[in-house]
């Protein structure tokens, strides 16, 4: 991989591994306890929907963490902000081990996410510091394929850990994982050359100025909203999947883990397609195929569920696999396209992207729990609404990105 003018003192493949290990904190934090949600609800004497809301609580925290972390990383550097974020994540994960109520779960998950968001937002900015164009897209794709090992393994690992010692041991694992990542970041994470600024009264003006630049770049906003909508559609699945798969279709925790893994395997395959096509095809063209795939699958899924109420599980699973798997065509390409508009404020730009992504996902996830009615209808309908909004906003705001290339 070709680096940008910033000198990279670590092998790019090792850097991809380091950044992927840090990003993997997010899927580990959300996916590892999905199969234990019913057990947690019983243990905490709370209805299942309250425990489901811990996912949305986590996303709200990530949104704020990414907003703060991205802005501060443009001023104080990526590495120090990543380490502060990981430390917050670590301490709050310890607190969750000792909680007694769903209210405490929501609060500490929010704090945990705040730290996780501060840490992971530095990943995209670090890639932008050292790579450009299709090289950046390839780096994001490499990070993506490594990171996908986490959501692939997380549900099965969570099921195994819970079988050994209950749901609390899952968070003990997250404590250990965060500690290892913190040590690796401290030892190996590179720091690009930048003008470090003092934390004084001028910092707020600078942060506001950087965010204003991002929101005034109309063409980039279409890519941002597509990313947020696609992620929101996937988050609806994360919120409802344990109920639909285990309560309606009667899957065991072990079977649920394998069904969940099928989505990640599909995503990994499409991620490899992205990496291969980037050799000859612009990232913006690859992501279009992902948009059409996700939109088409969500439309078919909604039609099937509303017409059959409880369709055969293999049909439901197949459509969800390709809907969620389309993230392998959308994620890294959308991020590369969006970040290409912001060469000097990569941290702030990535903070806006991450914040909007997790904030909208949290809102959509929370709304999903509010309209939850015990049927299969809610999940596909909310997924379709999310992906449709993303496709429309991409067309309205960013179609000029393709039109300019045709002239």
Residue 94 in contact with residue 175, Cβ under 8 Å? yes
CA distance 379 to 249: 14
Residue 124 in contact with residue 346, Cβ under 8 Å? yes
For the chain, give every domain's residue range.
Answer: 12-191+205-402
CATH class of the 12-191+205-402 domain in this structure: mainly alpha
Range 385-400 average pLDDT: 93
Q: What is the pLDDT of residues 96-114, one digit of tens each?
A: 999 999 899 999 999 999 9
Length of the chain: 407
- Tokens standing for residue 78: 């990526």
Name the residue with tokens 């996780």. Answer: 116
Give the pLDDT of residue 303: 95
Name the residue with tokens 């990070």. Answer: 143
CA distance 331 to 281: 16
Q: What is the pLDDT of residues 172-226, one digit of tens each?
A: 999 999 999 999 999 888 876 665 556 566 666 777 787 888 888 889 999 999 9
Give the pLDDT of residue 1: 47
CB atoms within 10 A of CB 87: 16
Range 163-170 average pLDDT: 90
CA distance 260 to 161: 17
Name the residue with tokens 């609060």. Answer: 107
Mapped onto helix, strand or coil, the DSSP state of residue 356 is helix
Any idea what the Cα angle at residue 382 is, between residues 145 and 388, rounded to 5°?
75
Give the pLDDT of residue 142: 80
Closest CA to 189 of 68, 10, 346, 348: 10
Examine the pLDDT at 5 and tell me if it is beyond 60. Answer: no
Q: Which helix (H) or strand (E) holds 57?
A: helix 48-76
Q: Average model confidence (pLDDT) for the chain?
A: 86
Examine the pLDDT at 133 and tell me if it is beyond 80. Answer: no
Per the rule left: phi > 0, alpha: psi between -120 and 50, beta: everything else, 193 is: beta
Burial of 37 by CB count in 10 Å (0-12 exposed, 13-18 middle, 19+ buried)? buried
Examine the pLDDT at 4 and tell me if it is beyond 90. Answer: no
CA distance 115 to 120: 9
Give the pLDDT of residue 324: 93
The model carries a pTM of 0.72
Give the pLDDT of residue 57: 87
CB atoms within 10 A of CB 205: 9
- Tokens standing for residue 130: 């050292």
Q: How confident is the model at residue 2 (pLDDT cuts 50, 70, 90)?
A: very low
DSSP per-residue letters across 197-262? ---STHHHHHHHHHHHHHHT-HHHHHHHHHHHHHHHHHHHHHHHHHIIIIIIS---HHHHHHHHHH
Q: Which of 43-47, 63-67, 252-256, 392-396 has the highest mean pLDDT?
A: 392-396
CA distance 116 to 103: 20
Range 32-58 average pLDDT: 85
CA distance 186 to 79: 8
Examine the pLDDT at 300 and tell me if it is beyond 90. Answer: yes
DSSP per-residue letters across 123-191? HHHHHHHH--HHHHHHHHHHHHHHHTHHHHHHHHHHHHHHHHH-THHHHHHHHHHHHHHHHHHHHH---
Closest CA to 55 of 86, 34, 35: 34
CA distance 219 to 126: 23
Examine the pLDDT at 115 and tell me if it is beyond 90. Answer: yes
Q: What is the pLDDT of residues 193-204, one digit of tens each?
A: 665 556 566 666
> 20-24, 61-65, 66-70, 379-383 — which is least confidently predicted?
66-70
Burial of 84 by CB count in 10 Å (0-12 exposed, 13-18 middle, 19+ buried)? middle
Examine the pLDDT at 160 and tell me if it is beyond 50. Answer: yes
Q: How confident is the model at residue 404 (pLDDT cuts 50, 70, 90)?
A: low
């Amino acid at each position: 991989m070709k680096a940008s003018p910033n000198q990279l003192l670590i092998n790019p493949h090792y850097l991809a591994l380091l950044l992927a290990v840090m990003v993997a904190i997010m899927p580990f934090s959300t996916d590892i306890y999905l199969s234990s949600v019913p057990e947690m609800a019983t243990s905490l004497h709370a209805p299942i929907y309250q425990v489901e809301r811990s996912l949305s609580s986590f996303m709200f925290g990530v949104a704020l963490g990414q907003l703060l972390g991205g802005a501060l990383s443009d001023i104080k550097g990526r590495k120090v902000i990543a380490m502060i974020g990981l430390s917050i994540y670590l301490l709050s994960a310890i607190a969750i081990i000792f909680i007694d109520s769903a209210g405490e779960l929501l609060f500490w998950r929010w704090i945990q996410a705040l730290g996780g968001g501060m840490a992971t937002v530095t990943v995209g900015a670090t890639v932008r510091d050292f790579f450009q164009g299709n090289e950046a897209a390839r780096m994001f794709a490499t990070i993506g394929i490594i990171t996908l090992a986490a959501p692939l393994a997380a549900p099965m690992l969570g099921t195994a850990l819970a079988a050994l010692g209950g749901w609390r041991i899952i968070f003990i694992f997250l404590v250990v994982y965060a500690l290892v990542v913190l040590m690796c970041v401290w030892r190996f994470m590179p720091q690009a050359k930048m003008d470090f600024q003092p934390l004084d009264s001028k910092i707020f003006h600078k942060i506001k100025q950087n965010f204003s630049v991002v929101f005034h770049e109309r063409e980039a906003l279409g890519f941002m909203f597509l990313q947020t909508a696609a992620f929101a559609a996937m988050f609806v699945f994360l919120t409802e999947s344990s109920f639909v798969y285990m309560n309606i279709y009667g899957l065991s925790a072990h079977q649920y883990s394998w069904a969940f893994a099928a989505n990640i395997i599909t995503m990994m395959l499409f991620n490899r397609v992205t990496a291969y096509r980037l050799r000859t095809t612009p990232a913006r063209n690859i992501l279009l195929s992902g948009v059409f795939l996700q939109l088409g699958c969500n439309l078919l899924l909604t039609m099937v569920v509303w017409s059959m109420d409880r369709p055969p599980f293999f049909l439901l699973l197949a459509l969800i696999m390709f809907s969620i798997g389309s993230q392998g065509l959308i994620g890294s390409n959308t991020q590369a396209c969006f970040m290409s508009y912001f060469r000097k404020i990569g941290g702030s730009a990535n903070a806006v992207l991450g914040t909007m992504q997790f904030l909208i996902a949290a809102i959509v996830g929370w709304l999903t729990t509010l309209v939850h009615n015990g049927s299969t209808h809610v999940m596909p309908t909310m997924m379709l609404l999310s992906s449709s909004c993303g496709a429309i906003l991409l067309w309205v705001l960013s179609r000029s990105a393709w039109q300019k290339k045709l002239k």
